[in-house]
Chains A and B, each alone.
Chain A
Amino acid sequence: MKMLQATFLLLVSGFAAASEARPQDDGYVEESSWRFSLALGVGQSSSPLYDAANMPLYLLPDISYYGKVGFFDNGTLGVGLDLTPHWSVSLVSRLNPEKGYFYRWHVSRIPSFEQTFSSMPTVSMEPRSAPQRVSVNEVNRRPTAWDGGVQLNAWFDAWTLRLNGWTDISGQHHGHEISVVAGRHYQTSLGHWRLSGGVYWKSENLMQRYYGLSDDEPSHLPRYQPRASVQPELELYWSLPLSAGWRMMAFYRYRWLDSAMTRSPLVQQSYQHSWFIGWSYRFF
């Protein structure tokens, strides 16, 4: 509770400091230059799995480089081509994020975090009832996979659209993922807001490799063969410029997990969410 109170006070102080006109977050970056920001604050990215640690978010980097064609943006490496002022297409690659839910560390089991988390009124922490629960500690390690794919971006006034098609190019799961995310930006006196909603489709192969339980798992565990999964997501992002380098920022992201996922004995919760509130400073 003290953490929430402190956060509220920090927010108020941030609003007070942001009385002058500040640079806007217009979605553009300078070509051929690195961009690096660090955000300091509190937050958490949950894991929906039994015995997998939620990832605490204290210090978040934001690093990107956009050349004339190629770019690197927070783990996504790609080459992009502007088709028109409103559309661009890119070839992209990334580390598949699915393994992130299988972290076995326990640093997030910090009492203050759990208290803060459980005191949020809109989030239920009740575990899903499952016929049999299987801990991530009991199953074989899930692979680190590298994805390649195509990305289509579109911009229309305050609207953005992003479509991705990914496939496993590392031969780890032979699966695919397709996503479409639409966002709306709002520039107000209370800062810059972005509300976005998307849908993620994950193929049966991908689901089987990460959330299935096949015959190569220890024999005492149940078996589970998932089908493809459809996962809707909503996100609200906010930032308030305080000076040329400093911003206050926050985001909340909620993803619904469908029955292909929640029927897995590994899965405890029918959602995955991330939240963060803090300050960011842009170094360059």
Chain B
Amino acid sequence: MMGLFAKTAWMLLLPLAATPTEPCDAGLCWSASPMLCIASAQGERCEAELKVVWSSSEPIDLCLYLAEEALSCWQQQQQGQWSSRLIWPEQARLSLRDAEQVFLDETLITVSRQPKRRRRLVAPWSVF
């Protein structure tokens, strides 16, 4: 299992915010990082730990979604934290929201360090 991931996961840690104090919207502050996972080659799976932290000035009901699938929900909390190691999606929406309002809405993406390669179909210099 270790070997499976050994060549795939290159992490670029680009936190959107260093602390849950920003960005803040309607009294709720959050951070999510990283937003980007860098695979060693295009098409290879990328694994990384995603961490989301939020805090609110008032107790609130919230759910965290990735690709419209709930990762975690909180009831009447003023702060929350969620982290897990994920197989990173190629591209998926990450959102933190209650029934009425979306507080966090970002996109997780996987990029590759090397461009995709394909077989050459004509032998080089063969035209001469």
Contact = CB atoms under 8 A, between A and B. Distances in A.
B120 A29 contact: yes
Interface stretch (B63-71, B82-90, B102-110, B111-119): B111-119
B115 A151 contact: no
A74 B122 contact: yes
Contacts of B116: 30-32
B124 interface: yes
B117 A73 contact: no
Prevailing SS type, chain A contact patch: strand
Given A57-B128, A74-B127, A274-B128, A29 B122 contact: no
Interface residues of B, number: 14
Given A45-B128, A60-B128, A274-B128, A237 B117 contact: no
A88 interface: yes
B121 A80 contact: yes
A266 interface: no
Contact of B118 (A28, A43, A76, A194): A28
B121 A73 contact: yes
B120 A28 contact: yes
6 contacts: A28-B120, A30-B115, A32-B116, A76-B121, A151-B121, A237-B123
Interface of B: 115-128
Interface of A: 27-33, 37, 39, 43, 45, 57, 60, 62, 64, 66, 71, 73-76, 78, 80, 82, 88, 90, 97, 151, 153, 155, 162, 183, 194, 196, 235, 237, 249, 251, 274, 276
